[in-house]
Amino acid sequence: MTTEFSLQHIIREPKTENKKAPVLILLHGYGSDENDLFSFAEELPDDLFIISAKAPYTMQPYGNAWYAIHWDNNDGKFSDDLQAITSRDTIRDFIDEVIEKYPIDPNNINLLGFSQGSILSYAVALSYPEKIKSVIALSGYVNKGIITKDFENNDFSNLKFYCSHGSADQVIPVDWARKTKPFLDELGIENSYSEFPVGHGVAPQNFFELKDWLVKRL
């Protein structure tokens, strides 16, 4: 565990020595921690430098969040967009620190996010596309309220997305996720969108598909 960074995190170095390794930053979901998605690490390509980050807001009795989700009697649940924007820029700063401290390729930074981590991955990549090569966005959606102003004018020519969702997701409605592809198409961003017959989780066939997608683009 390292602490001299904006975000606590754990790493898996490449199995082969590489001074400029491609990097995959894992961003977990609400109420989880950096160990959750790290279970994917052993199944991912050996040449990847894998970094699993821990969200900054501690929850009780355990777990972490990238931003609070509030429940009220009138509108149901809603996201704390101000906290989400803070986390978006913390991740941006963390990427710069990672480039400075680890032997990785600054032009091959990839994000993999699940749920809240996926929502933040969209926000980081669409706000700062010059920093990100590709995004694997699992069980999330685009929250335009946490993307930088005038993001539509950014240069997305080198950015790519793999998006997937469970068709029976009980946490984030699949209808929200289905808006992603037309939204990214409109911006001229290369993307693919898949659905799997599961709830709020990653089916085995989903994992194999995203892994294959990632390997082809490293």
Which tokens belong to 109?
């930074």
**9-217 in CATH: which number?**
3.40.50.1820
Q: How far apart are CA 40 and CA 186, in angstroms?
A: 32
Q: Which residue has the higher pLDDT, 139 or 76?
A: 139
Handedness of CA 125, 131, 133, 136 (dihedral sign): negative
Cβ-based neighbour number of residue 182 at 10 Å: 10
Helix (H) / strand (E) containing 210: helix 204-217
pLDDT at 16: 86
**To the nearest whole number, what is the mean pLDDT of the chain?**
94
Q: What is the pLDDT of residues 145-183, one digit of tens each?
A: 999 999 999 999 999 999 999 999 999 999 999 999 999
pLDDT at 81: 94
| pLDDT surpassing 60 at residue 99 | yes
Q: What is the pTM assigned to this prediction? A: 0.95
Cβ-based neighbour number of residue 134 at 10 Å: 23
The gap between the terminal CA atoms of the chain, to the nearest Å, is 26
